[in-house]
Amino acid sequence: MSRPTVGVLALQGDVREHLAALTAAGADARPVRRPGELDAVDGLVIPGGESTTISKLVDIFELREPIDKRIADGMPVYGSCAGMIMLAAEVLDGRADQRGFAGIDMTVRRNAFGRQVDSFEAPVEITGVAGDPFHAVFIRAPWVERVGAGVEVIGTVTGGPAAERIVAVRQGNLLATSFHPELTGDQRVHAYFVELTRAA
């Protein structure tokens, strides 16, 4: 599989930016809004946005059960920011009616780094991503407060007031980051996911 087909859940968030980054990283990238479009992809990106809105739209577009099934069957999925929240088994400070896919055995705290005005950038060392620390952009971002035994912590903030906070994890074919790599022009995280999808 020289160019895996990777979908971007196109219900809300940075869809266009993820599509561009995935294409630059060697994937055939396409938006996913319907179950039939999900059937045609090898991997899926859940972008940043607003996790409670994404949760509602997943039901409206009848994608919850198909995505749950594909995750159970081993499809690689990458969630950034709100996408991380959607992949978490437990969400703190979320809404009572908010439902994700519970694919990664972790607890995340929604909006942990603060409001929009508290957005910041920081270097993150990511296991499996070669080169200098990744220059990560955090916008109303979650952080990870707990991981289960099967979850690998692959990235923490390396400096500043958020130092040592867990912001990137992997469990099998599922990958999640608190930050938005699609906004940086650095395709290394997307390339990591494309390779993960190709290997699967």
Which active-site residues does the annotation give?
81, 180, 182
Q: 3-state DSSP: the chain helix, strand, coil percent, rounded to 5?
A: 30, 30, 40
**Rounded to an integer, what distance in angstroms lies between the CA atom of residue 159 and that of residue 179?**
15
Q: Of 182, 166, 148, which Cα lies nearest the Cα of 46?
A: 182
97: left (phi over 0), alpha (psi -120 to 50) or beta: alpha
**Residue 43: its H or E element:** strand 43-46
192: left (phi over 0), alpha (psi -120 to 50) or beta: alpha
Sign of the CA dihedral running 124, 128, 131, 136: negative
